[in-house]
Homo-oligomer: A and B are copies of this chain.
C-alpha cells in the first residue's frame, strides 16, 4: 500500500478523517505510523496529498489530510475481458486498477466456465475491494468502471457501441493470427484504445466475427499462451507504447 485511500464517509465535520479496520492496521503495523508522522493519502475518486497523523491507537487512526494534487494520468485504454477464473480475477482486478485502465467489461464467452458466475469475486463489493488494492499500489484514486455481462452477443451487438462510443481503436488480441500489433493503424496521441482479450483458449470464431462486425481489428499474440494476469499488463503496455510512438 503506497497510499492510504480515504472514503468520503471517513471524514468528520472538522475536515479530519478517522480510519479503522484494514487501513488502520496497515498504518500501525506496516507503516509504523506515530503521531505527527505524515502519510501519503488520496480520496476515492478525488485528489491525492498527505495527512498528518493526529493520533493512532485502539484500532483507529485519526488524520488531518491535505488533498491538493491531481492523481496520475489515466491510461486512456479500456478492456473487454472474457471472465477469467476467480483466482486469476483476484490478480487481474488490482492490476487493471493499478494500470489506470478506465473501463473494464467482464464478459461471458464460449470458453468461459459457467461456474465462474457463481464466484463471490464478481460481487460489486468484492470487485471494489480488489480495485482499491490496485489504486493503493499505484497511488491512484480513480477506479476503472467495471461492467459484468453474462451474455456476450447482446452486450456486443446492443451495448458495446454505447459504452465505448468515444473509442477510436478497437483491437482484438488472438493467440493465432497473421498480423502482429504493428500491422494495425497507429492511434493518434489522444485516441482511446479498447483491447479485447479472450479466454486462454481464445475467442471462438463466432465471437471473433461478432467483434469484427463491431470494428475490432484482430492481431496475433504469438504462439505463447499467457496467463491472463500476464497478458493484460503486457498488452496494456504495448498499446500505450504504440500510441505514444505516434507522437
Contacts and interface: CB of A to CB of B under 8 A. Distances in A.
A229 interface: yes
Contact of A227 (B137, B180, B181, B182): B137
Interface stretch (A53-61, A106-114, A164-172, A232-240): A232-240
Contacts of A181: 241, 244
A95 interface: yes
A188 B208 CA distance: 34
A137 B230 CA distance: 11
A165 to B, nearest CB: 26
Nearest to A136: B225
Interface size class of A (residues with CB under 8 A): 35 or more
A211 interface: no
Total identical chains:
2
Interface string A215-232: 000000011111101110
Interface of A: 2, 72-73, 91, 94-95, 98-100, 137-140, 180-182, 200, 222-227, 229-231, 233-238, 240-242, 244-245
Given A230-B233, A237-B233, A225 B2 contact: yes
A99 B230 contact: yes
Contacts of A241: 181-182, 238, 241-242
Contact of A233 (B180, B233, B244): B233
